[in-house]
Amino acid sequence: TYCVNRQVADSACTGTAYLSGVKINYGMLNVAASVPRYDCDYEKTNETEIFGIMKWAQDAGKATGIVTNTRITHASPAASYAQSATRGWEYDVEVRGAGCDQEKTMDIAQQLVRNEVSKNFKVAMGGGRRYFLPRDVNDGEGARGYREDGKNLVEEWLETHKAMGESEFVWNREQLLAVDPKKTEYLLGLFEASHMKFNLVVKEQNAQ
């Protein structure tokens, strides 16, 4: 498919199109074509923000979730839950680097944890741990988080979902296999600091 303003598309505008049926501008996620890219001050209304199949399914009482081998904040999976004037605002540093007020413009990682649609995902699994953890926190595999606002979004997700039902956070295969689906209502899995490894690499490294 194509974007409103470009013949050759990217996965942000096309992800929005196939999940909502609405075509938008190149590089944007679920924000109407009337809004220019990188506009962090656009008025958030029913006319400018788009909701798609995940919300429709939830409104119909269905369970929803996403599983990806990219960062979970990357454009393709983010098209299922985020509204952003550019796909690049995956974490706080990128939002502030664009001159935007982080209190008014939520980065995509925060949206996964706080947006009503993604907050209600039964399962959310992929890569991208680094955008959910502050710089002083080790991610379990020796890498530190990237966030400079001090927010630990994994802890926030756990705290939020503790009040909603039985929930689990996992970051490796062993933990995932130990999850009891009969006792787990919400599951968040972040298995790499960035994108997931290709299967060939996993086999060569005998990685988890």
Distance CA 60, CA 113 (A): 22
Binding residues for Mg(2+): 74, 76
Helix (H) or strand (E) holding 113: helix 108-114
Q: Is 11 a catalytic residue?
A: yes
Whose CA is closest to 37, among 10, 63, 59? Answer: 10
**Catalytic-role residue among 11, 80, 118, 194:** 11
* 1/195 Cα distance (integer angstroms): 25
- Cα(91)–Cα(146) distance, integer angstroms: 8
Residue 182 CB: number of other CB atoms within 10 A?
A: 6
List the catalytic residues: 11
